[in-house]
């Protein structure tokens, strides 16, 4: 099938490459000419495991093309996916202007019977509004508008697309249902369930799913705080909870507060939609507030552990591992607060480009070890695999102080302590080496140990 995808971001690129892999002929359009020019040379502007390889192989197979001229590609397409951004506005609502602009621009060019499919995350009722907008612009009602929310995660986008738990399609007429079922037939044949429902339900499913996952994260973070107060260990507690099949172990890792391009924005939009429609979502309101407060509280924890004008090494600035995405990452709240407190911040991330563009005042290093050299406090903020394998003895030797704050609980506390480090996980007892390392950081270590976590 001939398909056009509007938007060449994380979702648009993954959708385009995966649909091409399923055998469709895909043209991916973006309004950013530099982005399109790079993609035409098979240069992928984002880091996503396996994506560059998949794009390049599908381009070679001539099933995937890039253009900035949507008007030319759209008339031949049976399906046009809209995967443009839907950022938050100041009130917490999503800004639908990119979706509306893209729909308005393509409306006159859609073939009769074509289906415009909203893949962007949009509030309930948007597909129906876009249908009215498109009909008005065309002065006829011969195309359909459907919803097909995307559940992929940055860092495992291709796997999530091709091996989804389910595909959700929102369809208000049989023509769009038939078309979407045809597009996804290679995946449904392989056993992936497809949920077909009205557009308004599909739009609500996306928000409700993200709100529930974010609640799990917020909940385990609160449990981690309680573990610290009571001398418990959140890893053991999460393990015990997660083995209950009614709950499941996913999204039960305590951390520095959720970030990324979806959870913060989608929870805000969910809460704001509830407020506007007289159906408040108090759990989500509290979650949003607590998540932001957590990032600030952890920054204060670092400040308390470091000597005045001390040096802090930050390991990991992406909002999670395997992505260079930094939208609403904990690092973007924590690092500016450390700098404001007069601390020197040295950082490392295996994919630092996104963070380097938005964080000023940080000294960047090409390796974790170099970032930690002469640091008083080292803070592990992102769960990159390479940090799991850190040589803790060398790290301890390189540092001036001895405090290792592991805000992802990925370092073995015993090994850190044996290496001479003063280990702070989240939701776990502080573990001190038998002999606290001497140096400028040592006094701070003891101060931190005395202060409440």
Residues belonging to the active site: 262
| Of 31, 52, 283, 417, the one binding ligand NAD by CB under 6 A | 31
Q: At 56, phi and psi to the nearest 5? A: -60, -40
The answer to whether 145 touches 126, Cβ cutoff 8 Å, is no
Closest distance of CB 236 from ligand NAD, Å: 31
DSSP-assigned beta bridge partners for residue 429: none
Binding mask 105-144 for ligand NAD (x = CB under 6 A): x--------------xx-----------------------
Instruction: Select 120 or 221, whichever has its Cβ closest to ligand NAD.
Output: 120
CA dist 435 to 359, 372, 420, 421, Å? 36, 20, 7, 9
Work out which of 61, 91, 101, 446 binds ligand NAD, going by CB under 6 A.
Answer: 101
**In the complex, minimum distance from the CB of residue 423 to ligand NAD, in angstroms, rounded to a whole number:** 32
Residue 84 found at the interface with ligand NAD (CB under 6 A): yes
- State the nearest-atom distance from the C-beta of 284 to ligand NAD, in Å: 16
In angstroms, give the least distance from the CB of 247 to ligand NAD.
24
- How deeply is 80 buried, as exposed, middle or buried, from its count of CB atoms within 10 A (0-12, 13-18, 19+)? buried
Six-digit token pair at 390?
């850190």
Residue 81 interacting with ligand NAD (CB under 6 A): no
Least Å distance, CB 4 to ligand NAD, is 10
Closest-CA residue to 410 (of 431, 388, 395): 388
Q: Which two tokens stand for residue 181?
A: 């079922």
Please name which of 333, 212, 195 lies closest in space to residue 267, comparing C-alpha atoms.
212
Task: Measure Cα distances from 58 to 35, 42, 55, 262 in Å.
Answer: 18, 10, 5, 28
Q: Could you give the CA distance from residue 268 to residue 276 in angstroms, rounded to a whole number? A: 12
Q: In what order do the strands lie in the sheet with 344-348?
A: 363-364, 344-348, 311-315, 377-380, 403-406, 422-424
Binding test (CB under 6 A) with ligand NAD, winner from 85, 307, 425, 441: 85
Per rule CB under 6 A, is residue 83 in the interface with ligand NAD? yes
In whole angstroms, how close is the CB of 54 to ligand NAD at the nearest point?
16
Measured from each CB, the residue nearest to ligand NAD is: 9
Asked if 261 touches ligand NAD (CB under 6 A), the answer is: yes
C-alpha–C-alpha distance, residues 263 and 252, integer Å? 15
Binding region for ligand NAD (CB under 6 A) out of 29-37, 197-205, 306-314, 415-423: 29-37
Distance, CA of 444 to CA of 53 (rounded, Å): 47
- Binding track over 148-187 against ligand NAD, x by CB under 6 A: --x-x-x---------------------------------
Residues 32-51 that bind ligand NAD (CB under 6 A): 32, 35
Q: Binding residues for ligand NAD, per CB under 6 A?
A: 6-12, 29-32, 35, 83-86, 98, 101-102, 105, 120-121, 150, 152, 154, 261-262
């Amino acid at each position: 099938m001939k398909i056009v995808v509007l938007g060449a971001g994380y979702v648009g690129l993954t959708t385009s490459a995966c649909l091409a892999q399923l055998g469709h002929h895909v043209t991916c359009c973006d309004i950013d000419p530099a982005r399109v020019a790079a993609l035409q040379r098979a240069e992928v502007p984002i880091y996503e495991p396996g994506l560059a390889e998949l794009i390049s192989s599908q381009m070679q197979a001539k099933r995937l093309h890039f253009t900035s001229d949507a008007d030319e590609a759209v008339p031949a397409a049976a399906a046009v996916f809209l995967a443009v951004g839907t950022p938050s506005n100041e009130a917490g609502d999503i800004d639908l202007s990119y979706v509306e602009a893209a729909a308005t621009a393509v409306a006159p060019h859609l073939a009769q019977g074509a289906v415009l499919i909203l893949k962007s995350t949009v509030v309930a009722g948007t597909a129906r509004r876009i249908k009215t907008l498109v009909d008005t612009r065309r002065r006829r009602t011969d195309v359909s508008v459907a919803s097909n929310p995307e559940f992929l995660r940055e860092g495992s986008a291709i796997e999530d697309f091709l091996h989804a738990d389910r595909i959700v399609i929102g369809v208000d007429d049989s023509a769009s249902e038939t078309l979407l079922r045809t597009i996804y037939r290679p995946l449904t044949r392989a056993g992936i369930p497809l949920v077909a429902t009205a557009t308004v339900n599909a739009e609500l499913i996306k928000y409700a799913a993200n709100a529930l996952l974010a609640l799990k994260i917020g909940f385990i973070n609160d449990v981690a705080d309680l573990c610290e107060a009571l001398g418990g260990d959140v890893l053991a507690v999460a393990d015990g909870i997660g083995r209950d099949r009614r709950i499941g172990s996913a999204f039960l890792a305590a951390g520095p507060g959720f970030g990324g391009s979806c959870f913060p924005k989608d929870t805000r939009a969910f809460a704001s939609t509830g407020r506007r429609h007289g159906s408040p979502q108090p759990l989500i309101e509290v979650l949003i507030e607590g998540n932001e407060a957590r990032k600030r509280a952890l920054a204060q924890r670092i400040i308390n552990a470091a000597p005045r004008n001390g040096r802090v090494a930050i390991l990991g600035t992406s909002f999670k591992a395997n992505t260079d995405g930094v939208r609403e990452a904990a690092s973007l709240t924590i690092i500016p607060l450390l700098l404001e407190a007069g601390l020197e911040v040295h950082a490392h991330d295996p994919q630092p480009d996104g963070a380097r563009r938005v964080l000023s005042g940080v000294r960047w290093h090409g390796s974790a070890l170099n970032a930690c050299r002469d640091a008083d406090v080292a803070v592990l903020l992102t769960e990159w695999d390479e940090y799991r394998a850190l040589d803790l003895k060398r790290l301890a030797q390189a540092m001036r102080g001895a405090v290792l704050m592991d805000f992802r609980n990925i370092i073995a506390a015993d090994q850190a302590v044996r290496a001479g480090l003063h280990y702070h996980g989240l939701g776990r007892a502080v573990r001190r080496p038998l002999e606290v390392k001497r140096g400028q950081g040592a006094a701070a270590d003891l101060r931190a140990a005395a202060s409440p976590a």
